Amino acid sequence: MENAKLLLVDDEKGFLDTITKRLEKRKLKIWAVYSGEDALVELEKNTAIEVVVLDVKMPGMDGIETLVEIKKRFPLMEVIMLTGHATVETAIDGMKLGAFDYLMKPCDIDELISKVKEAIEKKRQHDEKIMEARIKEISDRMV
Amino acid sequence: MEQSLTDRKAFYQVLVRKITTLILVVSFFPLILTTGLLVYRFHITYTDKIQAHISELVQKHTQNIDTFLSEKLGNIQYLSKLFIHNQHGPDAFLEKHLALLKDEYGDVFTDLGLINEKGIQFAYKGPFNLEYANYSDAQWFIEAIKKPFYISDVFVGLRGHPHFIIAVKIPSAESYNILRATINFGAFNSLVENIHIGKTGIAFIINNKGQLQTQTRVEFKQSTITSMAVNPEYYKKDKTIFAKKREPSGKRVLCVTSTLKNNDWLMVFRQDINDAFSELWKTQILTLIIFIFGCIAILSVAFLLPKNIVKLISKADTKSEAMNKQVVESGKLATIGELAAGIAHEINNPVAIMVEEAGWIGDLLEEEDLKACENLNEFTRALDQINTQGRRCKEITHKLLSFARKTDSTINDVQINEVITEMVSLTDKMAMYNNITIETDLHKGIPYIRISPSELQQVILNLINNAIDAMEKTGGKIKIETKPSAIKKNNLVISVEDNGPGIPKDSLGRIFDPFFTTKAVGKGTGLGLSICYGIIQKMGGKIDVHSQVGAGTKFRIWIPFQEETSEDIKNDNNTIIEES
């Protein structure tokens, strides 16, 4: 999965930095921020981001609040929830609110990558459909 | 535990004794006091009443008789005065006045007679032929000549039946005569005979020699009568004396006396005490019977009630103790759960970082050209080890967290037998390696239950795993059974029984405690059974354990179900099927 553009959100700097390095080494384009607020700012700024990996438990805006905000502002954005403490209920809540999937920390890197891949695929298909619809609309207009 | 049981038994005994004593004191004290006071007061009042009644009766009759006597005496005295101025012969005088008296008083006066100083009756009028009868030796004549008038005692005399005489001296110039009237004894007797009370209460008159002056319907021994006459106390003037005494025959009698005729005669009223006070005694016996019944009632209440109360109390105590234990147990679980969740969370993140860093080193190692490095194998082994141990940490923390918050508590309709079969098939291999066989006896027709299937799986798996662990070395048999509970209504019971080494008594009470384990270090977390306990509690069920060292262990789980709900769900399903 090359050129996947990920935004990682986690308050654990050690974890985030390492996983960023590991993912970058696997040819993914990574942006890393340490809080939900920063994540929203980053998404605003950077329209290239395709998938957000979001830690559930964070100081300030927590994962669920951030997720709600992201889905409000960027409805097509795919979000993968990362739960550090087996709060499956929270993860399920997250999925009900539109998250793509969830992973438990500490997670296997390959597993993470495969989840990201699925999410991006879904998003790209989605985008494609929207594009097609647009094209169709425009071409219809021409006729 | 046993110590406290005996303590409690002693406490209950003391309680029973205290309540019994209290009931006895509180009931008996007023009862005895009231009954005693009532009986005593009633006795006094009633005795007084009877005494007053009889005394009054006797007094009235005494007065009547006295009046009767003095009236008759007055009549004769009047006659004697008339006689002095009489111009006709004595016979004519007597005839005329006897007729007048009979006319006036009826049959009271039997006859009239005139006697000279020598005791010769020179004139007589009456039914007997007594003219010229000589009375000079008669007792009454001797008495009569001494006094201006005389009333005799009752005597038989010349005519042969009892009568008494009123004699009045008529002084003349040289000598004197005596006017004598005989009073009809029947008329006199009826005055006294009319007095009778109860069965034995009768009245009679005796003279001072103890001779009966009236007829009685009952025969008395002479000694009885004499004993009354001799008693000088009875001859106090104008006084009614009330006495209770014992007759020589041993009979206790009531004796009321009053003097008559200038203290010559004694009116005696006599009644058996038993008779006189029969009403009183009837009442007293009734009171006594009521009292005895009251006592029996109090005694039975005093000895039965406290036992029942204490039985109820002890039942309530046992119940509340069990409840307390449950509350403490679940409280303990909750506290430990929270603690565990906190620790798990704090540990999880560092472990995640460590695992990531190890992964990063692994990534870097792949990149480097380290084929020449002789320690490459050691590096990769160490990284693998870090990964494995990290995963182990994760497992522990996840278990801890699942203990605090159940992993997957989605509720579904679950067929318990299916879950058990599934779990048995999962563990069958492992059991076989340990030379253990698993038998199942699953009751058909167990209803669907709305619980979390994954939680139930966890519980069953845990119990089977524990049984396998216990019989690892020896081998053995595990028997799993399901059936509707015979003890608890709308419950089904799952029992998991092994014939392993059993659980020692001192461990048995703690096996549901978190972190309590008998397994070797690193083999068990000590959370399995407390998680099971928590899950079953949450389902509204119950889990217990019976174990005998050397014989085996049996876990039993009760899970409640509601038949109606499961039927409803089935019906819902049916409608859906029909619609589609």
Give residues with Cβ within 8 angstroms of A105, minimum separation 6. A15, A55, A82, A83, A84, A85, B348, B349, B352
Three-state DSSP state, B453? helix
Residues of A in contact with B390 (CB under 8 A): 106
* pLDDT of the residue at B226: 66
CB-based burial label for B308 (10 Å; 0-12, 13-18, 19+) = exposed
Q: What share of chain B is helix, strand, coil (3-state, %, to 5)?
A: 55, 20, 25
Minimum distance, in Å, between the CA of residue A75 and any CA atom of chain B: 29
d(CA B33, CA B465): 75
Question: Residue A131: CA atoms inside 13 Å, Cβ hemisphere, count?
Answer: 6
- The string of pLDDT tens digits covering residues B209-225 is 777 777 776 666 666 66
Q: What is the pLDDT of residue B563?
A: 59
- Identify the pLDDT of residue A67: 92
Cβ <8 Å between A22 and B398: no
Q: Give residue for tokens 């003279």.
A: B207
Q: Which amino acid is at A123?
A: K
Q: Are B235 and B263 in contact (CB under 8 A)?
A: yes
In this prediction, residue B429 has a pLDDT band, given cuts at 50, 70 and 90, of confident
**Domains, chain B:** 2-187 (3.30.450.20), 197-276 (3.30.450), 313-407 (1.10.287), 409-571 (3.30.565.10)
> How far is B122 from B526, CA to CA, in rounded Å?
145
| Contacting residues of B for A107, CB less than 8 Å apart | 352
B405 touches chain A (CB under 8 A): yes
Which residue among A88, A106, A109 places its CB closest to the CB of B351?
Answer: A106
* pLDDT top residue among B493 and B329: B493
Strand partners, B169: B178
pLDDT above 60 (res B188):
yes
Q: State whether B359 and A109 contact (CB < 8 Å).
A: yes
> Which has the minimum average pLDDT: A74-78, B108-112, B373-377?
B373-377
DSSP 8-state class, residue B55? H
Evaluate whether B534 touches B400 at the Cβ level (below 8 Å): no
CB atoms within 10 A of CB B353: 21
Tell me if A18 and B356 make a contact (CB, 8 A cut-off).
yes
Q: Is residue B10 less than 8 Å (CB to CB) from chain A?
A: no
Chain B hits for A22, CB-CB cut-off 8 Å, are 356, 359-360, 363
- Interface of A to B at Cβ within 8 Å reads 12, 14-15, 18-19, 21-22, 25, 57, 84-89, 104-107, 109
Q: How far is CA B259 from the centre of its chain?
A: 57
Mean pLDDT of the B246-252 span: 75
Both structure tokens of B244: 């209770």
Q: How far apart are CA B225 and CA B238, in angstroms?
A: 20
Strands A78-83 and A51-55 come out as: parallel
In this prediction the pTM is 0.46
Which residues of B, range 418-447, sit inside 8 Å of A by Cβ? none
- Span between the terminal Cα atoms of chain B, in Å: 62
Q: Are B390 and A12 an interchain contact pair (Cβ–Cβ within 8 Å)?
A: no
Contact A19 B363 (CB under 8 A): no
- Put simply, whether B340 touches A (Cβ < 8 Å) is no
Contact: A106, B402; criterion CB under 8 Å: no
CB < 8 Å to B351, chain A: 106
Rounded to a whole number of angstroms, the distance from the CA of B514 to the nearest CA of chain A is 19
Q: Residues B467-470: contacts with CB within 8 Å, 24+ apart?
A: B467/B436, B467/B496, B467/B498, B467/B500, B467/B553, B468/B427, B468/B430, B468/B431, B468/B434, B468/B436, B469/B519, B469/B523, B469/B524, B470/B498, B470/B500, B470/B501, B470/B553
Locate the chain A residue with the closest alpha carbon to B343: A85
pLDDT of residue B416: 87
Going by pLDDT thresholds of 50, 70 and 90, the confidence category of residue B230 is low
Name residues whose C-beta falls within 8 Å of residue B185's C-beta, 6 or more positions apart in sequence: B154, B161, B162, B163, B164
* pLDDT category of residue B196 using cuts at 50, 70 and 90: confident
Residue B232 pLDDT grade (very low, low, confident, very high; cuts 50, 70, 90): low
Averaged over B454-470, what is the pLDDT?
A: 85
Residue of chain A with shortest Cα separation from B392? A106
Please give the residue that has the higher pLDDT: either B510 or B227: B510
Please give the C-alpha separations between residue B416 and each of B446, B455, B553, in angstroms, as whole numbers. 8, 12, 22
Angle between helices A13-25 and A109-142 (to 10 degrees): 70
Report whether pLDDT(B51) > 80: yes
**Among residues B26, B24, B46, B21, which one has the least CA distance to residue B287?**
B46
Distances (CA, A) of B143 to B148, B169, B537: 10, 11, 121
B384 part of contact set with chain A, CB < 8 Å:
no
- The reported pLDDT for the residue numbered B565 is 45
pLDDT band at B292 (very low <50, low <70, confident <90, very high): very high
What is the share, in percent, of chain B residues with pLDDT greater than 90? 6
Identify which of A14, A88, A105 has the shortest CB distance to residue B408: A88
Closest partner residue to B405 (CB to CB) among A22, A89, A109 is A89
Pick the residue from chain B with its C-alpha nearest to A23. B360
Cα B335 to Cα B534: distance, rounded to the nearest angstrom: 12
Q: Distances in Å between the alpha carbon of A2 and those of A16, A28, A29, A116, B173? A: 20, 6, 8, 11, 186
For B156-196, the DSSP string reads -TTTTS-BEEEEEEEE-SSSEEEEEEEEPHHHHHHHHHT-E
Select the residue of A18, A88, A105 nearest B360 (Cβ to Cβ).
Answer: A18
Whether residue B496 contacts residue B555, with contact meaning beta carbons closer than 8 Å, is answered with yes
Computed over every residue of chain A, the mean pLDDT equals: 86
Mean pLDDT value of segment B21-49: 90
The answer, for B337 touching chain A at a CB cutoff of 8 Å, is no
Torsion of CA B519, B520, B523, B526, to 10 degrees: 40
Beta bridge partner(s), residue B178: B115, B169
- Please indicate whether, in this complex, the C-beta atoms of A22 and B356 are within 8 angstroms of each other: yes
CB contact under 8 A, B356 and A106: yes
CA B240 to CA B447: how far, in whole Å?
100
CA-nearest residue to B397 within chain A is A85
Q: What is the pLDDT of residue A53?
A: 92
Whether B143 shows a pLDDT value over 50: the answer reads yes
Confidence of residue B155 (pLDDT cuts 50, 70, 90): confident
| CA B143 – CA B572 distance, rounded (Å) | 132
> Is residue B2 predicted with pLDDT exceeding 60?
no
Asked if B366 reaches chain A (Cβ–Cβ under 8 Å), the answer is: no
Q: Which residues of A touch B391 (CB under 8 A)?
A: 106
Q: What is the pLDDT of residues A73-111, one digit of tens each?
A: 998 899 999 876 656 677 778 888 889 988 887 788 888
Q: Which residues of B touch A85 (CB under 8 A)?
A: 341, 344-345, 348, 397, 401
Q: Is B349 on the interface with A (CB under 8 A)?
A: yes
The answer to whether B352 contacts chain A (CB < 8 Å) is yes
A43 vs chain B: nearest CA distance in angstroms? 25
The end-to-end CA distance of chain A, in Å, is 39
Give the residue carrying structure tokens 């597993």. Answer: A111
The reply to whether B208 touches chain A by the CB within 8 Å rule is no
Point out the residue among B341, B349, B367 whose CB comes nearest to the CB of A12: B349
Confidence at B568, pLDDT banded by 50, 70, 90? very low
Structure tokens given for A122: 């879904």
Q: Taking CA atoms, what residue in B is nearest to A13?
A: B353
Binning pLDDT at 50, 70 and 90, where does residue A69 land?
very high
The residue assigned the tokens 């384009």 is A29
- The pLDDT assigned to B204 comes to 82
pLDDT above 60 for B577: no
State the average pLDDT over residues B549-570.
72
Nearest to B407 among A15, A88, A106 (CB): A88
> What is the spatial distance between Cα A7 and Cα A31, in angstroms, rounded to a whole number?
5
| In the predicted structure, residue B576 carries a pLDDT above the cut 50 | no
Q: Where do the H-state alpha helices sit in B127-167?
A: 139-144
- Judged by CB atoms closer than 8 Å, whether chains meet at A18 and B397 is answered as no
- Decide if the complex's ipTM is over 0.95: no
In angstroms, the separation between the Cα of residue B363 and the nearest Cα of chain A is 7
Q: How far is B346 from chain A (nearest CA, A)?
A: 9
Determine the distance in angstroms separating the CA of B485 from the nearest CA of chain A, rounded to an integer: 34
Is it the case that residue B182 has pLDDT exceeding 90? no
Residues B259-279 have a mean pLDDT of 79
**Cross-chain Cβ contact A15/B348 below 8 Å:** no
Contacts of A106 in chain B (CB under 8 A): 348, 351-352, 355-356, 390-391, 394
Q: Rounded to the nearest 5°, which phi and psi values hold at B525?
A: -90, -15
Mean of pLDDT over chain B: 80
Beta carbons of B398 and A86 less than 8 Å apart: yes
Q: Residue B22 is encoded by which pair of tokens?
A: 């209290």
Q: Which of A82, A105, A112 is the mutation pick for testing B, counting most B CBs within 10 A?
A: A105
